A and B are shown apart, each in its own frame.
Chain A
Amino acid sequence: MQIYLPIAEMSVNLFFLVGIGGAVGFLSGLFGVGGGFLLTPLLIFSGVPVPVAVASVTGQVVAASTSGALAHYRRGAVDLHLAMYLVLSGVLGAFGGVAVFALLRDAGQLDLVISLGFLILLGSVGTLMLVESSRAILKQRKGIVVRERLPNQHNWIHGLPMRVRFKKSRLYISVLPVLVIGLFIGFVGSLLGIGGGFIMVPALVYLLRVPGNVVIGTSLAQVVAMMAATTVLHAVQSQSVDILLAFCLMVGGTAGAQFGASAGKYLRGEQLRGLLALLVLAVAIRFGLSLVITPSDLFSMAVVGGMR
């Protein structure tokens, strides 16, 4: 069954859209990530114009993260104070990201920067996660009890000026690293059409030492708020948010996420992280190859400005 997307101005199979939304939603529920880093490339590879894909996926990420964020909030696992700082700086970063997005699109370098961005970001995060999770799995096999990092273990980042107390996270740290993390994720997220959960969680855990029970909830709350702002920014600036496309992905995504979350209970944390690392690396390699392998078509075209 074909459905016409009014902003992308093309017709796509409805089941295909709901299907990839569901498949990515399953993975995002399984690993507790937004899934934007999988959906945006999938849409681009299936012919949706790059600006429409990036802008519409931001809307889908909002939906995918909402139910998780609400569930964590009810359990009291969201540090709203910390999330507020992350969101404020994140929205600032998103302004920058959306502006750079428009500049790059006009200069014809958007595809290159998106490919490079995914390669560097996913490649480094994926490698780190793979190393960390395989170490944890090996240690457990040998019977060594893994000592959890203590939340009040400080490093030099915490000692920077402008300290603020985050009660729920039991932290008394400088806001500067918090703002830098928010700014960076806002910028990268709006540029690449990803929520940035897979960067946010390691950053909160390893850099800020946020305790494990509030990490996921805070990250999800931040993703919802920041991606909501980014969606509005994209809608205003590039007018490339396709609400029908986003809705089809949302329906598939929210349903898939529930099944993914139940499936996730059968796997241990480090196994999940290892699988996610492999997935992230696979996407990074795909983008890396597209930069190096001779493209099948050396020429491409784009429309500038609107219809006359």
Chain B
Amino acid sequence: MKRLVLLLLFVAGLLAPAQAARLISQVSNDSVEITSSFDGERMNFFGTIVPDVGSAEAITGPFQVVVVVLGPTQNRIARQMTNNFGIWSNTGQLEFKNFPSYFHVLSSGRLSEITDITTLTTNYILPESHTLVVNTDDWWRSAVYGQQLVRLMTEQGLFGVQENGVNFLSDTFYSARLTLPSNAPPGPYIALTYVFKHGAIIARRSEGFAVRKIGFERFLALSSTQQPLLYGLVCVLLALVTGWFGGVLFKR
């Protein structure tokens, strides 16, 4: 009996801070439309931290907010070149299954000051944490390839960490700005928002938005996969007509 009470107290103690605050948040666009002139899109994430329903105590800061934006996952391969007999060629490769095609972290301060490395890794807030799930006997190799893959993705603008990306406009109201690059892969995206207080997560929320091709671009992309034969024939016809018309136009 005494142990049960202790356990209940312990559980209550664990849950209490998480229940005390609630996050109300919003994404500026719930769909990003890729048109022919698509050149990236600016997005805003904002929200406010409010006391939980039924909680009488006022909430006090200081809070830290981390917004993690995740793109659709793909299987991605990292390859390494080595020099054999004077010629550089790909000799080693490692596949990362279900690797995010887009990953950006916006935070209101330095991640290392917000919380400890374990919390960051287990919640997949650090880019490197996505490379740790590879099943391989050779963990050193997977660590090297994973680190290089994150670097390559960062150079493409698909991965990134902005440690001043979230601004607090008041003690409890924040806003964050993210520019999606033009090479952002289409698909479903998730924005995960974590509220930290003294290094612990006290509230979290996830929102989805979609990046998708619309209109003519969507039509082209769909027909290339659903009617590939017809698509190919139309390509050839277009080429023949363009070539013929060019000849007529310039009277060759």
Contact = CB atoms under 8 A, between A and B. Distances in A.
Q: Real complex partners, A and B?
A: yes
B36 A66 contact: no
26 contacts: A2-B182, A4-B37, A9-B185, A11-B39, A59-B239, A62-B236, A62-B239, A111-B90, A112-B89, A231-B236, A233-B232, A236-B232, A250-B238, A255-B250, A258-B247, A292-B88, A298-B81, A299-B80, A300-B90, A301-B79, A301-B152, A302-B76, A302-B79, A303-B76, A307-B74, A307-B186
A7 B89 contact: no
A254 B76 contact: no
A294 B213 contact: no
Contact of A250 (B36, B229, B239): B239
B98 interface: yes
Interface string A148-183: 000000000000000000000000000000000000
A6 B231 CA distance: 13
**Chain A's interface: helix, strand, loop or mixed, by majority?**
helix
B235 A241 contact: yes
B86 A250 contact: no
Interface string A246-263: 110011001101100100
A243 interface: yes
Interface stretch (B55-63, B135-143, B162-170, B216-224): B216-224
Contact of B81 (A1, A234, A295): A295
Interface string B21-63: 0000000000000111111000000000000000000000000
A228 interface: yes
Interface in B79-117: 79-83, 86-90, 93, 95, 98, 101
Among B87, B232, B252, chain A packs the most CB atoms within 10 A around the CB of B232
B75 to A, nearest CB: 5
Interface of B: 34-39, 72-83, 86-90, 93, 95, 98, 101, 145, 148-149, 151-153, 182-183, 185-187, 213, 217-218, 220-221, 224-225, 228-229, 231-236, 238-240, 242-247, 249-250, 252
A44 interface: no
B150 to A, nearest CB: 10
A7 to B, nearest CB: 6
A235 interface: yes
Contact of A304 (B95, B153, B234, B245): B95
A269 interface: no
Contacts of A68: 247, 252
B36 A236 contact: no
B152 A241 contact: no
Contacts, number: 206
Contacts of B238: 59, 63, 243, 246-247, 250
Interface string A108-137: 110110000000000000000000000000
Interface string A266-308: 0000000000000000000000000111110111111111111
B239 A70 contact: no
A232 interface: yes
- Name the interface size band of chain A: 35 or more
B122 to A, nearest CB: 23
A1 B182 CA distance: 13
Nearest to A234: B232
Interface of A: 1-4, 6-7, 9-11, 59-60, 62-68, 70-71, 108-109, 111-112, 224, 228, 231-236, 239, 241, 243-244, 246-247, 250-251, 254-255, 257-258, 261, 291-295, 297-308
B236 A261 contact: no
B186 to A, nearest CB: 7
B83 to A, nearest CB: 7
B182 A10 contact: yes
Contacts of A1: 37
Nearest to B153: A301
A293 B231 CA distance: 40
B242 A241 contact: no
B29 to A, nearest CB: 17
B252 A67 contact: yes
B77 A304 contact: yes
Contact of B243 (A3, A250, A299): A250
B239 A67 contact: no
Nearest to A61: B239
A235 B81 contact: no
Contacts of A293: 88
Nearest to A291: B87
Contact of A299 (B79, B87, B185): B79
Contacts of B73: 308
Contacts of B90: 108-109, 111-112, 300
Contacts of A234: 232
A308 B239 contact: no
A108 B77 contact: yes
B242 A254 contact: yes
A3 B72 CA distance: 23
Contacts of B247: 66-68, 70-71, 254, 258
